[in-house]
Each structure stands twice: as structure tokens, then as C-alpha cells.
Amino acid sequence: MTDISMDIARPEPKFRLDLTSDAARARIRSRYRAETRFKAYGIAALTVTALFLAVLMFDILRNGLPAFWQHSLLLDVPVAADIVDPAGKREAGAIKGADYFPLMRNALNAAIPGIESRSASKQLTRVLSVGAPDRLRDMLVADPSLIGKTIKVPLLLSDDADLYYKGAGTGIDDRAGRGTATPSGRTGEITVLTSSNDFAEELQNIKLRLKSVADTISRDAGRIERSGPDQAQRVASMRAEVANLANRYQQPGNAEALDSKVPSVLVAINGGLVKATRLDASGITGDVLLPLKSAEEAKPGTWKVVHYSTPESDRKVTDQEVAFLERLREAGAVDRHFNWRFFTTGDSREPELAGIRGALTGTALTLLVTLLLCLPIGVMAAVYLEEFAPKNRWTDVVEVNINNLAAVPSIVFGLLGLAVFLNFFGLPRSAPLVGGLVLALLVLPTIIIAARAALKAVPPSIKEAALGVGASHQQAVFHHVLPLAMPGIMTGTIIGMAHALGETAPLLMIGMVAFIVDVPTAFTDAATVLPVQIYLWSDLPEPAFQSKTAAAIVVLLAFLFLMNGAAIWLRKKFERRW
Amino acid sequence: MDMSTVEHAMLTPSATSAPASGTKVTARACNVYYGEKHALKDVSVDIPERSITAFIGPSGCGKSTFLRCINRMNDTIASCRVTGKIEIDGQDIYDPALDVVQLRARVGMVFQKPNPFPKSIYENVAYGPRIHGIAKSKSDLDEVVISSLEKAGLLKEVKDRLNDSGTGLSGGQQQRLCIARAIAVSPEVILMDEPCSALDPIATAKVEELMDELKANYTIIIVTHSMQQAARVSQRTAFFHLGNLVEVGDTRQIFTNPKEQRTQDYITGRFG
Amino acid sequence: MNPHTVKTYDEELHLLDKKIAQMGGLAEHNLGQAFDALQKRDPRLADLVIVADHTIDVLEKEVEELVIQIIARRQPMANDLRQIMAAMRIANDLERVGDLAKNIAKRAGAIADEPHPKPVISGLGHMVEMALKQLKLALDAYAERDAERALKVWQDDQQIDAMYNSLFRELLTYMMENPRNIGISTHLLFGAKNLERVGDHTTNIAETVYYLVTGKPIGEERPKSDTTSQMLVQQGDR
């Protein structure tokens, strides 16, 4: 229709888009390369992170998971009435207060009969935990009619024995004897002689070791000699030692003593076990660990030479204990079960008795105080600042300081708690109440900031709508804005609480680091919390506690994941798009 | 402001409603400042009762600002300052003795984007009557909700799902729900701030039809960017530019023969 | 006037004006030529006018189409709206003027062989002159958006009416003198009537221009001097 012609000659533009020349193609290619590179960096960064995380998780789980299992001995315990309840009144108090040690000892002696030496029988009772009778005691208190009967009951093993069954002991190998072995007795220190050179191999190993020791000393002596003439006497004594050792290893036939620094050599014969203390090619002298049934000759193949490959000095259990534990395992008395005790008891000096219930309860009480304090205060503060406060210099100052508080190191809050709550207000030390107060201070800025962000995210149109139908400002905020911001506020709160859950430093300052056996029952009881418990355990020397540390970390992480999961779930469930 | 142009207006032969019987809203020398910015300059205007008055003008011309002065929605902005006088039925709404919450119950508002509360349809409409104590019992409240939805022409579409979320409705339905929510508190004046800018033409037509029905009982003031919409729905039109009220008059006159050059340039698309 | 933000809108409006101007020019030309054909008794010239009228019809259709397009696409407001409505009405009037010119040309063909009564022809000539002057003035008023001139055209229409009145009387007398004159006289009478109608259309254009410019209709009743509808055939003048 419009027939106005627009034939204006268009001049060639000065700047033209060029997509076809080589330079242009190179430019495009380099652009794509840059993009690919950037993606690769991102993936690499993620991979490294994931790798670190995987290693961390693997290590923690590897260390921690075994602690969730425990070993007990299932033994027939004859409950002698005169020991448990000498008065015969069947009173719970008396039953509780009785000395169960003899019962335990009797049960063990019944399981491994024939132990005579004091040292051996002491070692036998050391296999059990001091808490071993707990279960039995509980059973008897619950049902006194069991007294006088023999009952099968699990007896808790000591931490070392437990660890032994979890694989922290020694490798054991054996080979059948080639000659006829003749023991000189059934118990005590005996000799076992064989008709062939059954122990030549062991002897040679010892000689080789002597040689290497001699070589080391000789090298050291040479070095000391070169360094100066003033230690001539020491050098001389070292030379004499070398000569002595050389004398020993150069004569292949003569007997050698065994010490705890070499793998143990034992002889299993006639149903008993002898630990060699001295051996030559054709026989040993040693202590009986498990009594022999008889002192008769043993035919080739019916007896065995046994090696404990880890030297005795390198493990927590003695050869005697290994012998007992192996015997008990063979007897089928060892029971592996989930370590409920870990979740039901408080701390203890004995690793096998220590649990995290005290720490968990302490954590729960502390976090409860924290939540009760900082949720209402935080939300109200956020609502006031976001919705009602006049925007002026003062609110700016408040806002900046809230953001600053969120960045203050947590230890500072601990110091504050120490100074204000303990020293000024005189609140009890180590109490969840104080811990909760301190953590509330710590978490409050986080919650205020999260709540303000959540309130800001509610579209102003909702508030306007409420105002538009004649709601007061407060009604608009509390009826409409706050409920819509609640999922965001809850998410922020949970993340803040998770932060508090993992916090250690401020709690150390207010004395929640004490060794506390009892499970706290009130806000003012002495208590500790999970991360502090982890910190405490990680410091202890017993290897079983290392495992407990990792297990407690697993529990802590599980809680953290649970809380963060809850936060994500809340966010997803109530997420609203406008 | 030339008030004489008002005189030869009101020749709407198509007006089925009762003819405007008087002035509902009166503004005299109304100025609005946002901090240093002088957003509305010396506006004086009379808005007739039971009719639709449209405010048109380019963005930032002050028309929404003026609209929000009429129910004191600008109070929520801290830096905002209003001088001059705005009266509804002769009562100064900026009188310190007047309760702003009551004012907003008398002057309802419908916003640019449909903004139903993220609650059920029923709750959306019931909220206003509830906070103002309009309904004494549950059955009264039901009645108010139903009649408001009816008046907003929404009842047929939603009567089977009153408990569904209001945000689940279509845009046009949401906007009519917002209108139902506004009329549930029986306001005398309804302010509409670009009520159709987020709606498609069909939904727009429905809202416009609704406005046409509502003008029999309410005084409606609408801000719109669509001159066609202003021309379609309103009886009177006011043109704002740079904070000034340039021209106000009968809609038929404004769109066929505006007095002011600026009005003419704006409505014919010759600005700048 | 400021240009529109949308430039093609301006172009369309200019095109509309251009087409109106073209139509106006053609209408004037055809009217003049039709009278020439009558005066010179030239049937060939008359045929030319008849053919040329077709162009005006086509232009009117084009204007109409353009107007509809603009309404649909631009939703014109205020003076733009008045302009395109004016264009449509003026195009309509000009088309009618064209038709009337064609009618005169046809009659010129019909009476080419008859002897002409000189005074009547010269009276008719004055009328054509007047009508053309008025039409030109109205079109100028449109082109320049001049309400004053439009008002003048509107007021001056009674002069054409007066001329028509006197011609009417003259022809009546002529017919009464000799019944053989009735044929040619009737043709000439219709020609005069056509010119009077051209004047009316011109007045319409003037009214439209006045509304276009001022936005208001011309207020009072138009002065009319065509009294022929009350005239009777009487022996001699009163």
C-alpha cells in the first residue's frame, strides 16, 4: 500500500561485521577454547574437592565404623549365692554392691582350665573389662531368682582384647613338626626336644638378626671413632659388643635366647602351648602358656611350631593373652555385637565402657537453650530492623555491627561468656545453660542476617496487598510477610544451629571440657558436648579411643548432614516463586 | 487547571449507570516530594462519584504517585512528603486525627501485578472483612466472600475450589480475585494501579467489563499506560506530565480534541 | 507539529494528504474540462472527462483502504483521528464532485448539436468559475489546515446558490418562450443543479476542514440561498 519508495543509496558502512575472514575464525576459535578451558578448570576444582572429601570420609569411616561393634565373651557363669548375696535377702542394693570379680574369675577358669601361675591368671582376668559384670548385675537385679544358677551371659572384653579381635593383634602362622617332640613337663618352664632339627630355620633367622645388629653397632663405633679420640672407652666397649655378637652368630649350632623384640616362637603340643624363651636347632626351652594335657611324646605332624609374627613389644596384648584369646575364639565363646553401649553411656576412662550419651545429651540441652534464645530474639530483631526500624544512622550502625558480629572468632564469644556469665552472673561452670547462652550469642547474627534476607525476599506486593485492604503495618507483617519468610528463616536457623553444633572453642572457655561421666539431666548439670568429647578423646593414648574419636565424628557428621538435609528439605518444600 | 472544561462533559449517552451525582475526591494544590525530588506539582482535581476516572501519562509523570496519595499508600515510603489537601466526601484524609487503616478500608486498591495472598481463594477474600470485624459469624463471612466473588464476576469460575490456593489461578482470575478482595471490605473508592498491565487482552477485557459494572456502585480511579484502555473504560481522563496535571476532562473530548498541545502529542504518539 | 515517534505513521499520514490533493486536483480539472466540453460542444473532450473520472474513483478507494489500515494498525487519537476521518470524508465528497463533473460532461455530449442560448451559457460559466474557486479554496484550507478559509468557503456557498436561483429563473423563462427549447434547457438546468451540488460538497469539505482544525463542528446553521425548491412556474416574474 505504501508506495513511497525508500531507495536511498546506503553508503558502505565504515565498521563492518566480519565473520568470514581467517582472523575472525581464529577469534571465534579462541573464544570457544577459552570457554572450554574455563569449564575444565571448574571440573578440575570440583574433582579435587570431591577427592579430598572422599579421602576424609573414607578415613573417618574406616577408623570409626569398627567402634560401632564390640566383642564380648559368652560364658557360663555360675552365680554363687554366697558371693553375690551373702546375706540371702535378695535386696537390689546388696546385689548391686556385691563383688562380682570372683564370679568372673571362676567363669574364665572354667573356660580355660589348668592355669596355675599368678601372672597367667592375672592376665586371664585382664582379658575382661572392669565393666564386664554390668550385664550380669543388671540381670540379677531384675530377676534375683537367677542367683544360685549357672547362666550364660555376655561378658564385656577389655579394650585391648576387643581390638585384638578387630584385627589389631598379630599374624599367626604355624607348621607341623617334622620330628617327634618330647616335652619335659605339663606346666611351668619346660623343654621340648625334637628328633629332627625343627627349629633350625628360626635359629638362623635369629643369627641373621644378630649379624645385622652387630653391623649397625660396628658402623656406629667407626663413626664415633672418626669424630675424635675422647670416646675411646665407649668405642672399645662397642667393639667388644660386636665381637661378642660375632662370636654368637658365627657359631651356627649354639642356642640363642629370644626376647620380646623378635617374633615369638611357640610350640603347640598335646593340647597346650609353650612359648620359647631359648632355642637351638633341635629344641626349645620355654614357659607353658596353656597347660599340656600330658607330657607324652608327640608324633611328627601332631604338634606344631607356631609364630606370632608381630614382636610382643609391638603390640598391646602379650603372648599369654593372645594364647588365651585364641583359645577362647576356638571355643566359640566370642560374641560380636553392635555397640549399643556407645550410645547409652557417658564418658569413661575405659575405652570399652566410654559412650557418647553424655555428650549427646549435653549437646541437645545446649542447642535447646540456644534455639529457645536466638530464634525468637533473632526473628524479632530481624522483623524490627527490616520492617519497622526507621532508616537512619543508628540502624545503619546496628546493621554493620550485626554483620561484624557474624565474623567475630568464636573463641571471643567464649571469653565473653566466661567473663559475663560465669564471673559476673556466677552461673555454674560446664553447664549447658551457659554453653547455650554463649552459642546463642554466636548464632544470633547468623539468624538475624538469614531472617532479614528471607523477609527481604518476600515480594513487597504481598505487604501492599494487605495494607491495601486496610491491615495495619503490624498485621501485614505478622499475617503475611513473616509466614512467607518462615521457610527461609528456618533454613537459616538450622544452618546456624548446625554451626553451633560443631562449635568447640567457646565451650572450652566456659569449662565444658571437663571429664564428665554422668549423663546430664538438667540445664545446670556439668556437661560436655559432642565436638568437645571428640577433642577430649583424640587426646587420650589408648588406641581404642582413637577409634572412638572417629566414631564420635561419624555421629557428629551424621547429625550435621541430618540438619542440613532438613534445611534443604524445608527450602524445597516451602519454596515459593512469585 | 482549567476547570471549565469539566462543564461541558458528561454527555455519555451510553452511560447506563446513574449519572455522577457529585464529587467524591477533591485534591487541592497537592505536592509530593520523595526526598529532594518534587514528584507531583500542585495538582488540583475533582473526581466525580460513581464513575471511572483514568490517569494517563508517560512513566514517572506522577500519576501513580498521586493515586497512592489517595489512600496514603505513600506513607510507607519514609522519604515521601505530601503537602496540600486531599478530601474524600469533604473529609481531609491527611488530617492527623484520621486513622490511615480506616482510610484504606474506605479506599481499596488493586495493584499492577496480581498479588493474591498465597492462601486459599476464600482466605484471600475473607482477610479484609475479618480484620475489620465486618462479619460477625462464619456464615456472615461466607456471605461476604460469596457476594464479593460474585460482584467480581469470579464466583462461577471458582465456586468449586474456594479452598484452592489463590496463586493457582490464571493472571486475569488472580486480578479479579484481588478486586474481589478489595470490594469485600465495601470501599467507596477503588484505586487501580495499571491493573491490566500483566494481563492478556481477553483477561483485560474481562477486567474492563467488571470495572464497567462496578462503576454503578464505586468510584473508580485507574492509572493506565494504555490510552486505548483509558479511552475504553473511563468517563473522565486526566493527563499527567513531569509531575504536573496537564489536562483533565471528559474522556471523549481528551481523546478526540485535547486542549493542550502536550496532551495531544502524548496521545497521538508524538512525544519528545 | 512534532513528528510521530513512529516515522512510518507520519509517512502514511502524508501519503493520505497527497492522495487527497491529487483527487482535488483531478476533480477541479474534470469540472473545468466538462464545462469546456459543454461550451465548445466538443464530445471528444466530454469523453475524456468521463474516462478521467475513473481515476478519481480509484483514488477514493485507495484513500478508503489507507484509512482503514491506519485505524487498524495505529489506533489514531485526537488530531490524527480527526485527520484521517476528514480525509475519508473529503475523499468521498471529491468523488461526488467527480461524478457531477462526469454528469455535466455526459450532458455536454447530449446537447453538442443543439444551438446554445448564449446568456445561459455565460451564466453557467460564472457558476463554474465560482464553484472551482470555492473548491480550490476548500482544498487549500485542507492542505494548510486553515479554519478561517474553510469558514469563508462555507459562508460563500450562498453566492453559488444565488447564481443557481437566477439561472433557474432564466431557464424557466427560456422554456416558456419556446417549447422546443425545453430539451436543451432541461439539460442545462441539470448542469446548473450539478454545479450547485458541487458547491454543497465543497461546503461539506469546508465543514470537515473546520472540524479537523478546531475539533469542533461549525456552530450555527449554514446560510442557504437556494430557494428553487419553493419556486413555482408562473407567468412572468413577480
pLDDT of residue C231: 66
CB contact under 8 A, B269 and C5: yes
Q: In what order do the strands lie in the sheet with B107-110?
A: B107-110, B189-193, B219-223, B52-56, B236-241, B244-250
CB contact under 8 A, C4 and B231: no
**pLDDT: which is higher, B270 or C93:** C93
Asked whether residue C2 is domain-assigned, the answer is: no
Q: How far is CA A153 from the centre of its chain?
A: 28
Q: Among A232, A3, B146, which Cα is nearest to B138's?
A: B146
Q: Which residues of C touch B269 (CB under 8 A)?
A: 4-6, 9, 74, 77
Asked whether residue C1 is domain-assigned, the answer is: no
Q: Among C208, C225, C196, which Cα is nearest to C103's?
A: C196
CB pairs below 8 Å between B and C: how many?
A: 45
Q: Which of B227, B271, B272 sits opposite C77 (nearest CB)?
A: B227
Q: Is the distance from CB of A331 to CB of A66 less than 8 angstroms?
A: no
Q: Which of C4, C9, C75 sits opposite B228 (nearest CB)?
A: C75
Give all strands (DSSP E) within C75-138, no chain letters.
none
- ipTM score for this prediction: 0.84
Q: Is the distance from CB of A198 to CB of A313 less than 8 angstroms?
A: no
Please identify among residues 64-103 of chain C the ones whose CB lies closer than 8 Å to any CB of chain A. 65-66, 69
Q: Among A238, A287, A237, which Cα is nearest to A258's?
A: A287
Residue the block writes with cell 469546508: C206
Could you report the per-residue pLDDT of B95-143, keeping only the tens digit for each?
888 888 888 889 999 998 888 998 889 999 999 998 888 888 889 899 9
Task: Give A521's contacts (C-beta < 8 A, 6+ positions apart).
Answer: A361
Cα–Cα–Cα angle for A351, A353, A355, rounded to 5 degrees: 90
Residue of A nearest to C63 (CA): A1
Q: Which residues of A86-96 are buried (b: 16+ CB within 10 A; e: fewer)?
A: eeeeeeeebbe
Range of the domain at C146: 7-230
Q: Is the pLDDT of residue C233 over 70?
A: no
Q: Which of C5, C9, C78 sits opposite B272 (nearest CB)?
A: C5
Mean pLDDT for C49-57 is 90
Please identify among residues 4-43 of chain A the ones whose CB lies closer than 8 Å to any CB of chain C. 4
CB contact under 8 A, C81 and B255: yes
CB contact under 8 A, B257 and C76: no
CA A294, CA A270: separation in Å to the nearest integer? Answer: 6
Q: With a cut of 70, which residues of chain B have pLDDT below it?
A: 1-21, 272
Task: Give C221's contacts (C-beta < 8 A, 6+ positions apart).
Answer: none
pLDDT of residue A5: 47
Using CA atoms of C210, C215, C217, C223 in order, give the dihedral in degrees to the nearest 10.
-30
Cα–Cα–Cα angle for A405, A410, A413, rounded to 5 degrees: 75
**Subunits close to C (at least 3 CB pairs below 8 A):** A, B
Q: What percent of chain C has pLDDT over 90?
A: 28
CA A512, CA A366: separation in Å to the nearest integer? Answer: 11
Q: Is the distance from CB of A548 to CB of A541 less than 8 angstroms?
A: no
Asked whether residue C238 is domain-assigned, the answer is: no
Looking at chain A, how many residues does it have? 578
Q: Which fold has domain B21-116+189-267?
A: Rossmann fold (3.40.50)
Cell (9 digits) for A258:
629370644
User: How close, in Å, is residue B227 to chain C by CA atoms?
Assistant: 9
CB contact under 8 A, A465 and B178: yes
Q: What is the DSSP letter of A204?
A: H
CB contact under 8 A, B127 and A479: yes
Q: Which residues of C touch A5 (CB under 8 A)?
A: none
Asked whether residue C13 is domain-assigned, the answer is: yes
Q: Is the distance from CB of A536 to CB of A528 less than 8 angstroms?
A: yes
pLDDT of residue C116: 73
Q: Among A246, A220, A243, A215, which Cα is nearest to A231's?
A: A220
CB contact under 8 A, B268 and C4: yes
* pLDDT tens per residue across all 578 residues of chain A: 444 445 556 677 778 787 788 888 999 999 999 999 999 999 999 999 999 999 999 999 998 888 898 898 888 888 888 888 777 777 788 888 888 888 888 888 888 888 878 888 888 888 888 888 888 888 888 888 888 888 888 888 888 888 888 887 788 888 888 888 888 888 888 888 888 888 888 888 888 888 888 899 889 888 888 887 778 888 888 888 888 888 888 876 778 888 888 888 888 888 888 888 888 888 888 888 888 888 888 888 888 888 888 888 888 888 888 888 888 888 888 889 898 888 988 888 888 888 899 999 999 999 999 999 999 999 999 999 998 888 889 989 998 999 998 889 989 999 998 999 988 998 888 889 999 999 999 999 999 999 999 999 998 889 989 988 888 889 999 999 998 898 889 889 988 998 898 888 888 888 888 888 888 888 888 888 999 999 999 988 888 898 899 999 999 999 899 988 988 888 888 776 55
Task: Give C189's contacts (C-beta < 8 A, 6+ positions apart).
Answer: C167, C168, C171
Residue B29's region, left for phi above 0, alpha for psi from -120 to 50, else beta, is left
Residue of B nearest to A390 (CA): B78
CB contact under 8 A, B101 and A470: yes
Q: How far is CA A386 from the centre of its chain?
A: 45
Q: Among A455, A490, A496, which Cα is nearest to A566's?
A: A490
Cell (9 digits) for A175:
607348621
Q: Among C129, C124, C126, which Cα is nearest to C190's?
A: C124
CB contact under 8 A, A2 and C12: yes
Entry pTM: 0.74
CA A318, CA A328: separation in Å to the nearest integer? Answer: 15
Give residue C8's identity as a one-letter amino acid code: T
Residue the block writes with cell 468557503: C153
Asked whether residue C194 is domain-assigned, the answer is: yes
Q: Which residues of A touch C11 (CB under 8 A)?
A: 2, 4
Q: Which residues of A touch C6 (CB under 8 A)?
A: none
Looking at chain B, how many residues does it have? 272
Residue of B nearest to A574 (CA): B118
CATH number at residue C197: 1.20.58.220
DSSP H/E element including A217 = helix A200-227
Q: Is C145 on the interface with B (CB under 8 A)?
A: no
Cell (9 digits) for A428:
555454674
CA C37, CA C107: separation in Å to the nearest integer? Answer: 10
Q: Which of A459, A462, A469 sits opposite B108 (nearest CB)?
A: A469
- Which site among C10, C15, C19, C22 would you substitute to test the A interface, given the most A Cβ atoms closer than 10 Å to its Cβ? C15
Cell (9 digits) for A306:
607356631
Residue of B nearest to C211 (CA): B257
Helix (H, G, I), strand (E, B) or coil at B12: coil
Distances (CA, A) of A484 to A303, A478, B45, B177, B267: 81, 10, 40, 20, 42
Structural domain tally of chain C?
1
pLDDT of residue B21: 61
Q: In what order do the strands lie in the sheet with A334-338?
A: A150-156, A69-78, A334-338
CA B77, CA B99: separation in Å to the nearest integer? Answer: 17
CB pairs below 8 Å between A and C: how many?
A: 10
pLDDT of residue B15: 37
- Domain ranges in chain B are 21-116+189-267
pLDDT of residue C220: 65
For chain B, which residues lie within 8 Å of any Cβ of chain A, measuring from their own Cβ? 71, 73, 76, 78, 101-102, 104-105, 108-111, 113, 115-118, 127-128, 131-132, 178, 181-182, 184-185
Please identify among residues 4-23 of chain C the ones whose CB lies closer than 8 Å to any CB of chain A. 8, 11-12, 15
Count of CB atoms situated within 10 Å of the CB of A383? 22
Cell (9 digits) for A97:
554392691
Please identify among residues 80-119 of chain C the ones whose CB lies closer than 8 Å to any CB of chain B. 80-82
Cell (9 digits) for C170:
432564466
Q: Among A500, A496, A509, which Cα is nearest to A531's?
A: A500
Residue of B nearest to C9 (CA): B269
Cell (9 digits) for A29:
576459535
